[in-house]
Amino acid sequence: MAKGSVHPSESRNFYDRRTGTHIRQVTSASALHHHPFFIIPAYDDAMQRLIFVSYRTGTPQIFAEERATGELRQLTDRPDISEWSVHPGRNGKAVFFTAGTSGWKLDLETLEERELVDFAVTTLREEGMVAAAMGTTSVSHDDRWWAVRFSIGKESALAIVDTETGKHDIILHRDSIGHLQFCPDDSNLLYYAGPLMDRVWVIHRDGSGNRRLYVQNLEKKEWITHETWIPGTRELAFVDWPHGVRCVNVDTGVERQITTVNAWHAISNRTGTCVVADTNFPDIGIQIFDPRDGIGEPQTLCYPYASSIGEHWNGPFPYAAGPIQVYAPQHTHPHPSFSPDGQYVVFTSDRSGYAQIYEATIGTT
């Protein structure tokens, strides 16, 4: 199998036996698969393709399901892809990813891989399985800017790359920079995760306005994680594990609770009217709720039956004395996220023994 190879559809349909939700299994090959991290869209805006990572060739490669036909197309064939860096463009023309020490732009029509930037550093990621070690990136909602973090010695750096020219500026140096996400309503503003005990930061695209948005209560061993924007509100939501999801307005600083369910990875749809979240300890299934009413009464969409490995989640905040080594293979986590039209939730599950990609239809129960 090589770059450009086309495989027949592996799609099959079934219904969740407990909720009745219609679910489509997208992949079925005996190999590890996963969609992009939950804060990164898996589809282009027109939903022509579902982008995912597959190990069916023996190494992580970028694939696409052509949704009109169900065919699976291999988009890359290289040994050095950082699998959690993959970020589809919203206009459906390109996929951005890091490999080695460079940032690349993959043309979805020609499959040409263009090196946008070579950071000429030892590594783009920290060691480990979580947070900054994943190497996630973020593309602005107009597809013009790409935020990439990388390491310079023991220091982290944040670069903003022009997706057309490859010109880049390093806008921040600090002790730790983790997950990144451009504000969906402002391409000049982005969130990034700081150290595990001081996570919630925002910065302008030109490097100005770097500030802590939320002060973590370490006396209460508050565990703040998995931040993501709520479109149309300029609010950044974050998981207060395992006590629910809260959010804070980036302009006013006003905070509010949006649910008390044990949401693990939670993200809003494009209109800010519905949030989806997986759950753990206990796993009560993938939940959806309204983030606007101050109640966030959850409804179970389906049960992913993923192994959701990560025993450090089953207890109090574990990082009070500093970073620790954890075993949390990310492909075992569902990481649900919405399709652009809000009609589907894509998630990953290793229920079959291999991590596969699934798509649940909202409103079919």
Q: What DSSP letter does each residue of 200-213 carry, written as one string?
A: EEEEETTS---EES
Q: Is 1 inside a domain boundary? A: no
The per-residue pLDDT for 281 is 98
The answer to whether residue 30 is domain-embedded is: yes
Torsion over CA of 33, 240, 340 and 233, rounded to 10 degrees? -160
pLDDT at 154: 85
Locate 131 and state its tokens. Answer: 């947070």
> What pLDDT is stored for residue 153 in this prediction?
83
Per DSSP, the three-state class of 131 is helix
- Residue 365 has a pLDDT of 52
At 63, phi and psi to the nearest 5? -125, 165
Pairing mode of beta strands 263-268, 275-279: antiparallel
Q: What angle do CA 31, 35, 38 make, to 5 degrees?
A: 140
For Cα atoms 326, 332, 337, give the angle at the middle one, nearest 5 degrees: 115
Q: What is the pLDDT along the chain (365 residues), one digit of tens a residue?
A: 799 999 999 999 999 999 999 999 999 999 999 999 999 999 999 999 999 999 999 999 999 999 999 999 999 999 999 999 999 999 999 999 999 999 999 999 999 999 999 987 666 666 655 556 689 999 999 999 999 999 888 899 999 999 999 999 999 999 999 999 999 999 999 999 999 999 999 999 999 999 999 999 988 999 999 999 999 999 999 999 999 999 999 999 999 999 999 999 999 999 999 999 999 999 999 999 999 999 999 999 999 999 999 999 999 999 988 888 899 999 999 999 999 999 999 999 999 999 999 999 998 65
Q: What pLDDT score does 128 carry?
A: 58
Residue 206 forms part of a structural domain: yes
What total number of domains does the chain contain? 1
Q: pTM (2 decimals)? A: 0.96
Q: What pLDDT, on the 0 to 100 scale, is given for residue 120?
A: 78
Alpha-carbon gap, residue 337 to 265, rounded angstroms: 9
Q: From CA 338, how far away is CA 347, in angstroms rounded?
A: 9
CA dihedral 271, 264, 14, 44 (to 10 degrees): 40
Strands 22-25, 12-15: parallel, antiparallel or unpaired by DSSP? antiparallel
Cis upstream peptide for 282 (omega within 30°): yes
Residues 89 and 141: their CA atoms lie apart, in Å, by 8
d(Cα 190, Cα 160) in Å, to the nearest integer?
Answer: 11
Sign for the pseudo-dihedral over CA of 111, 116, 121, 124: negative
Q: Kindly state whether residue 110 falls inside one of the protein's structural domains.
A: yes
Residues 233, 205 contacting (CB under 8 angstroms) = no
Residue 240 lies in a domain: yes
Residue 296 is part of which domain span?
6-361
Secondary structure (DSSP) of 324-361: ------GGGS---EE-TTSSEEEEEE-TTSS-EEEEEE
Q: What is the CATH number of the domain that holds 197?
A: 2.130.10.10
